[in-house]
């Protein structure tokens, strides 16, 4: 809705040369551009941010002062905003590495990162096909048990994971992981301490 | 009351002036100076300094307390020239929106030049209060060395210093009474000379107020305990998260005279799991011994099972800040708040919910200030049952309520009208509806009429923050009725320049205006250029003000600093009609500042000539 003539004839200052040439008005499209990123994309919200639990945020909105933001979050929010570094060991590698779980969106994303870290491949494979892969990624949970990675939802995983280990398939045999075609019933995911 | 005293003093002054005019002789200066010593408010002192030359002189020599609302409005040189013997200095730096990360790092507000100058000119300086300023460790050291009678240091939302600077203050300020670091950012530097608290000498006993709640670093409990134990006048103690809740009893027994307390963190305590029962009874006993305690804050991660330790003191509490107590939910909050019948100020998270606020309205009839903060400001869905109804309840039940800060997710014009009619005594009303441009949830209309009712009925309203869906109409109401309004905060509102024009032309007492993400442009700003000289400052970000208009304004108004803050690069690399990112305009008598970072432009910085 255009507002013609603001009735500001008592304008003290004008842009432009004296003699009455029209003031330079900001182009409406430019105005739109200014606001496009804050009107945010409320529509594409749905599943995406529900998973990550963060939203496309406008800087400084809502107006909660930065001191309060830093000091006032619930466990859940703290998980979102703080780093979650865990140690990763790989059988055969001389040094352990650290990876920030909060930086990854899911298991496949983490697998790619781990593959990059140790310059190997096959971790991603293991998530799809646990029984036959070369590498077996396992993690130690809050209770101190070693678990096969990939069973529980990602959010649950990052909350309970304390450290990671990428085991060789050959080592895993001793842990009770059986190939698909064995007679062994059930417990192929049983991992003894 | 001091108002009455002021009136009496003023009448006396008028009489003196009359006599002077009639009789041609003047009172000895000492008499006038004595009379002036009863006038404390800056406005009054400014008024009497304009009466005549001799009164101006006497007043400026006797002014002890100076408040500078914008550190760039005046320079240390000018200040010292006019007021040669200042004892209390208060400075404010960055604009308010810096709290929300809208002011880029490095913008300014350095206090060092002020303290440098004061160290030479005001050896008798006793009090320094700073807000949103940058202060270095070297400057803290300079303070500790330069002012022998230094008593009060308040650093509110400041940054740039570390525990090393605090160590210097502790070690050398023998007469220190107050050290208040409220909400500042302090770097923790592990000192080989020990924790900074232990730098207070053994014979130092004059501490009255200590607020270290913002410190993230460890605190030496022994040093703290010793300090608290040997300072008999200690009234205020706000601890940080490093002080465990169960050790609090020790401190309270050392200082039962405390009036204000901020607890530390209690996350390790779970009364139901493993802590011994005497921790609870110990704390209970310690709190019961504090007969003077009126203000309570802190409560980080307190297990609700521990809350009853403060029940004995609840009836005496006038101020309660639970806004960091993320572990206390509605029912426990209600239980706690309903026991505080004398509560005047409550800061709380939205876990209190509508039900809790209803209970509050029934129990706390003396409530004057309420702030409800969001527990999950970035969640898209409401996580608590807090709506406009809670605020309506409190406005109905608490006749003295005059200051409100309220975060919620829905509002209606009807509710706002009810609140306005219930509380015409409202002086500060800050409403934040979390989702920008949210309409009245009942009618889907803008909230213009609701806020209009607020400004119309609340004739003493001094501060207002708007939110929700708003058109130019709300600004018409504000311009028409907001005659006492001094500070206005606007976001995602309005349709055109007319909105800004209404405010600038209508609000006679406006001092601070801060605007973000509104379609306000050049016209209203240029049409009301003179108004800007009557205000402290104007902030506009993500609006439609062009660089050309900024240049023109800067050239035509020499008493204003027009700062264009733009991190995209030099503004003249873009067309003049291009809107600037951020704009900060303030009146000044000290001309352009010389500490501008690369992303700030003013007319003097820009070498290219502007329009005529």
The stretches of A88-153 forming alpha helices (DSSP H) are 107-118, 123-128
User: How much is the pLDDT for B595?
Assistant: 93
Distance from CA of B378 to the nearest CA of A (A): 7
Residue range B97-101: mean pLDDT, rounded: 95
pLDDT digits (tens, 9 = 90+) for B228-270: 999 999 999 999 988 887 789 999 999 999 999 999 776 655 5
Structure tokens at A57: 């945020």
Average pLDDT, chain B: 92
Please check whether residue B236 is in contact with residue B208, taking contact to mean a CB–CB distance below 8 angstroms: yes
Cβ neighbors of B248 (< 8 A, separation 6 or more) are: B239, B263, B264, B283, B286
Q: Which residues of A touch B380 (CB under 8 A)?
A: 45, 49, 55
Please check whether residue B147 is in contact with residue B121, taking contact to mean a CB–CB distance below 8 angstroms: no
CB pairs under 8 A between A and B: 145
Contact between B530 and A12 using a beta-carbon 8 Å cutoff: yes
What backbone phi and psi angles, to 5 degrees, belong to B531?
-60, -35
Q: How many CA atoms within 13 Å lie on the side-chain side of B403?
A: 10
Tell me if chain A has a CB within 8 Å of the CB of B573: no
User: How much is the pLDDT for B237?
Assistant: 97
CA distance B369 to B346: 6
pLDDT for residue B495 is more than 70: yes
User: How much is the pLDDT for B25?
Assistant: 54
CA distance A50 to B92: 41
Please check whether residue B345 is in contact with residue B320, taking contact to mean a CB–CB distance below 8 angstroms: yes
Cβ neighbors of B160 (< 8 A, separation 6 or more) are: B110, B134, B135, B136
Place of tokens 């060789």: A168
Q: Which chain B residue shows the shortest CA-CA distance from A13?
A: B526
CA distance B236 to B207: 9
Contact between B495 and A55 using a beta-carbon 8 Å cutoff: no
Please check whether residue B464 is in contact with residue B503, taking contact to mean a CB–CB distance below 8 angstroms: no
Q: Which chain A residue shows the shortest CA-CA distance from B265?
A: A71
Q: Which residues of B touch A77 (CB under 8 A)?
A: 376, 378
User: How much is the pLDDT for A53?
Assistant: 38
Tell me if chain A has a CB within 8 Å of the CB of B183: yes
Q: Which of B93, B270, B157, B293 is nearest to A71 (CA)?
A: B157
User: How much is the pLDDT for A37?
Assistant: 39
Structure tokens at A146: 């070693």
Q: Which of A93-107, B50-64, B491-505 has the highest mean pLDDT?
A: B491-505
For residue B316, give the DSSP letter: G
Positions of chain A with pLDDT under 50: 1-11, 16-17, 19-55, 74-80, 177-193
What backbone phi and psi angles, to 5 degrees, belong to B550?
-65, -45
User: How much is the pLDDT for B192?
Assistant: 63
CA distance B251 to B224: 8
CA distance B401 to B427: 9
pLDDT digits (tens, 9 = 90+) for A125-171: 777 776 777 888 899 988 888 888 888 888 788 888 989 998 887 77
Distance from CA of A25 to the nearest CA of B (A): 7
pLDDT digits (tens, 9 = 90+) for B267-303: 655 554 445 668 888 999 999 999 999 999 998 888 8
Q: Which chain A residue shows the shortest CA-CA distance from B215?
A: A71
pTM of the model: 0.77
User: How much is the pLDDT for A153?
Assistant: 81
Q: Which residues of A touch B578 (CB under 8 A)?
A: 30
Place of tokens 């029984």: A131
pLDDT digits (tens, 9 = 90+) for B578-612: 999 999 999 999 999 999 999 999 987 754 333 33
User: How much is the pLDDT for A96?
Assistant: 86
Q: How large a percentage of chain B has pLDDT more than 70?
A: 94
**Do strands A85-90 and A97-100 pair parallel, antiparallel, or not at all (unpaired)?**
antiparallel
Q: Which of B49-63, B348-362, B592-606 has the lowest mean pLDDT?
A: B592-606
User: How much is the pLDDT for A107?
Assistant: 85
User: How much is the pLDDT for A44?
Assistant: 39
Please check whether residue B114 is in contact with residue B99, taking contact to mean a CB–CB distance below 8 angstroms: no
pLDDT for residue B98 is more than 90: yes
Tell me if chain A has a CB within 8 Å of the CB of B318: no
Residue range B534-561: mean pLDDT, rounded: 96
> How deeply is A35 buried, as exposed, middle or buried, from its count of CB atoms within 10 A (0-12, 13-18, 19+)?
middle
pLDDT for residue B19 is more than 90: no
What backbone phi and psi angles, to 5 degrees, belong to B118?
-65, -35
Residue range B438-446: mean pLDDT, rounded: 97
User: How much is the pLDDT for A113?
Assistant: 85
Distance from CA of B359 to the nearest CA of A (A): 25
Residues linked to residue A168 through DSSP beta bridges, in sequence order:
A135
Distance from CA of B271 to the nearest CA of A (A): 20
Q: Which chain A residue shows the shortest CA-CA distance from B526?
A: A13
pLDDT for residue B471 is more than 80: yes
Contact between B100 and A23 using a beta-carbon 8 Å cutoff: no
Residue among B375, B519, B552 minimizing CB distance to A74: B375
Contact between B376 and A35 using a beta-carbon 8 Å cutoff: no
Q: Which of B360, B435, B346, B364 is nearest to B390 (CA)?
A: B360
């Amino acid at each position: 809705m255009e507002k013609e003539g603001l009735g500001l004839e008592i304008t003290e200052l004008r842009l432009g040369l004296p003699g009455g040439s029209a003031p330079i008005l900001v182009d409406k499209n430019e105005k739109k551009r200014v606001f496009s990123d804050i009107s945010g994309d409320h529509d594409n919200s749905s599943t995406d941010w529900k998973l990550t639990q963060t939203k496309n945020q406008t800087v400084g909105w809502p107006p909660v002062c930065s001191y309060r933001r830093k000091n006032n979050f619930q466990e859940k929010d703290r998980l979102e905003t703080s780093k979650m570094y865990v140690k990763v060991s790989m059988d055969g590698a001389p040094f352990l590495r650290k990876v920030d779980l909060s930086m990854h969106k899911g298991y496949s994303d983490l697998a790619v990162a781990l593959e990059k870290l140790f310059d190997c491949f096959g971790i991603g494979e293991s998530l799809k096909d646990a029984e036959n892969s070369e590498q077996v990624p396992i993690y130690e949970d809050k209770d101190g048990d070693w678990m096969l990675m990939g069973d529980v939802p990602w959010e649950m995983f990052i909350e309970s994971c304390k450290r990671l280990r990428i085991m060789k398939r050959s080592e895993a045999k001793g842990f009770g992981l059986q190939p698909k075609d064995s007679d062994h019933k059930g417990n192929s995911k049983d991992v003894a301490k | 009351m001091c108002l009455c005293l002021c009136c009496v003093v003023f009448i006396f002054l008028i009489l003196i002036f009359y006599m002077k005019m009639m009789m041609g002789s003047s009172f000895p200066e000492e008499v006038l100076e004595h009379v002036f010593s009863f006038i404390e408010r800056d406005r009054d002192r400014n008024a009497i300094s304009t009466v005549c030359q001799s009164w101006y002189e006497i007043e400026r020599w006797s002014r002890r307390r100076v408040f500078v609302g914008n550190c760039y409005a005046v320079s240390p040189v000018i200040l010292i020239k006019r007021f040669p013997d200042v004892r209390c200095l208060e400075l404010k730096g960055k604009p308010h929106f810096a709290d929300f990360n809208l002011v880029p790092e490095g913008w300014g507000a350095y206090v060092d030049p002020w303290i440098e100058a004061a160290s030479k000119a005001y050896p008798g300086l006793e009090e320094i209060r700073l807000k949103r300023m940058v202060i270095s460790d070297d400057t803290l050291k300079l303070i500790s060395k330069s002012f022998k009678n230094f008593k009060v240091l308040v650093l509110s939302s400041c940054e740039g210093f570390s525990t090393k600077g605090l160590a210097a203050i502790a070690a050398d300020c023998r007469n220190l009474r107050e050290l208040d670091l409220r909400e500042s950012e302090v770097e923790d530097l592990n000192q080989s000379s020990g924790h900074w608290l232990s730098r207070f000498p053994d014979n130092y006993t004059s501490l009255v107020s200590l607020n270290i709640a913002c410190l993230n670093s460890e605190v030496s409990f022994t040093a703290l305990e010793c300090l608290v134990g040997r300072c008999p006048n200690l009234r205020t103690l706000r601890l940080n998260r490093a002080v465990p809740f169960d050790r609090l009893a020790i401190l309270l027994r050392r200082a039962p005279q405390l009036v204000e307390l901020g607890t530390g963190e209690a996350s390790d305590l779970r009364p139901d799991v493993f802590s011994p029962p005497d921790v609870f009874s110990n704390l209970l006993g310690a709190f019961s011994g504090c007969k003077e305690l009126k203000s309570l804050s802190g409560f980080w991660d307190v297990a609700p099972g521990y809350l009853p330790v403060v029940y004995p003191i609840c009836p005496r509490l006038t101020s309660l800040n639970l806004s960091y107590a993320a572990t206390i939910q509605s029912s426990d909050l209600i239980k706690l708040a309903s026991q505080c019948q004398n509560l005047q100020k409550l800061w709380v998270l939205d876990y209190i919910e509508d039900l809790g606020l209803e209970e509050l309205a029934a129990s706390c009839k003396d409530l004057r200030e309420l702030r409800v903060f969001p527990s999950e400001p970035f969640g898209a869905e409401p996580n608590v049952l807090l709506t406009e109804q809670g605020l309506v309840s409190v406005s109905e039940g608490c006749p003295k309520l005059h200051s409100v800060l309220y975060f919620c997710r829905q509002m209606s014009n009807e509710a706002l009208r009810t609140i306005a009619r219930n509380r015409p005594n409202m002086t500060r009303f800050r409403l934040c509806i979390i989702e920008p441009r949210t309409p009245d949830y009942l009618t889907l209309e803008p909230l213009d009429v609701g806020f209009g009712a607020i400004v119309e009925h609340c004739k003493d309203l001094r501060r207002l923050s708007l939110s929700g869906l708003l058109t130019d109409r709300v600004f018409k109401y504000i311009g028409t009725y907001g005659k006492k309004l001094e500070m206005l905060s606007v976001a995602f509102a309005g349709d055109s320049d007319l909105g800004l024009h209404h405010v600038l032309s209508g609000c006679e007492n406006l001092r601070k205006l801060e605007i973000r993400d509104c379609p306000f442009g050049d016209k209203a700003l240029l049409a009301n250029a003179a108004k800007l000289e009557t205000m402290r400052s104007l902030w506009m970000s993500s609006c439609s003000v062009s660089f050309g208009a900024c240049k023109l304004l800067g050239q035509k108004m020499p008493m204003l600093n027009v700062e264009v803050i733009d991190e995209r690069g030099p503004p003249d690399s873009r067309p003049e009609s291009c809107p600037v990112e951020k704009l900060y305009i303030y009146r000044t008598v000290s001309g352009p500042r010389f500490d501008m970072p690369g992303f700030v432009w003013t007319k003097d910085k820009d070498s290219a000539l502007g329009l005529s």
